[in-house]
Chain A
Amino acid sequence: MALFLVSAAVFGTIYVAALASLHPMGVADAASASYGNRINAATVSERHITDAVTAVNFDFRGFDTLGEEFIMFASVIGTILLLRKHRDESEGTPRDQKAGREISPPSDAVRVISVSLAGMVVTFGIYIVTHGQVSPGGGFQGGVLLAAPPLLIYLAGEFQQFCRLAPRPLVEAGEAVGAAGYAIIGVIPLFLHAAYLYNFLPLGTPGDIFSGGTVALIDLTVGLEVAGGFIVLLLAFLEETLVRRDPA
């Protein structure tokens, strides 16, 4: 414990001294600010995209985002594999349940709020995914938002609807299509004698939904992949804790 405190103090002083030798917050010298300033100047004029962060993510540095998306894909696969090994558990009723005593359904307040929010969250998620190149948003944020409504429906007690809304093969297929779609959108420009992930679609007007060329398509595929990945993750974690409310 004392060893940790001493080493933490030493590390803390070195860390703060190293950070303090960077430029002071708020004022950047010309060398370190030039890349950001150039991108800010170029997004609207060259790419017709009004959200600079999405342009950097999917257009200027689109290759890095491809790698990051596959990190997410691989870790979802890893988590499913890790949680799948326990097939020796059998289905059983929870311990506090005697025969004949039915499971109490969730309260009315939970049901009303969950069901009424689910539709709004789906709409908002689709809005954020498709408007990534216009206003703050994009594939990742909207994708995670879209993974929430099936969970809300599960919380409201409608397990059958949850299974029908997000059946496992469909969700897994959607995730795979999203991940492959991004890579394929990159391969298509190779046939047009351009570089990988070159922005080959018409650029449109800035501020429109279909501006930015391939960025609009990539937003959709990334949103699909992230939503599918998170729902699959939820299903893997939920599988051992589901309490089926089968009608008696």
Chain B
Amino acid sequence: MTTLLQALILGMVAAGGLAVVLTRDPLNQSVVVSFYGILLAIMFFLFQAPDVALSQIVIGAMALPLMILLALARIRRKREPPEPK
């Protein structure tokens, strides 16, 4: 039973990686990479690694998409410069 779950989650992780690469727009990609991070955390959990799963959830699903979105916001602000006060 556990082996079936592990094979299933490995397949989902492979599909998730493909989905991350095939999404071309970075704004959509940040959501997909957050979901991919949660998939990886579930994989770590099923392979008996709770510490690593906790770390992956916190970093891969929160900190990494956050930094991506902030970088995109900063780039967009550069593209449309504000009018001086």
Please give the residue numbers on chain A whose beta carbons come within 8 Å of chain B beta carbons, in ascending order.
Answer: 51, 53-54, 90-95, 128, 136-138, 140-141, 144-145, 147-148, 151, 230, 233-234, 237-238, 240-241
Contact = CB atoms under 8 A, between A and B. Distances in A.
B51 interface: yes
Contacts, number: 56
Given A92-B83, A145-B58, A237-B67, 5 more contacts: A95-B80, A138-B51, A144-B55, A237-B74, A241-B73
A90 B71 CA distance: 18
B85 A93 contact: yes
Nearest to A140: B55
Contact of B83 (A93, A145, A148): A93
B82 interface: yes
Contacts of B73: 241
B11 interface: no
Contacts of A145: 58
A54 B63 CA distance: 22
Interface of B: 50-55, 58-59, 62-63, 66-67, 70-71, 73-74, 77, 80-85
11 contacts: A95-B83, A128-B54, A136-B51, A140-B55, A141-B58, A144-B58, A234-B66, A237-B71, A241-B70, A241-B73, A241-B74
Contacts of A137: 51, 54
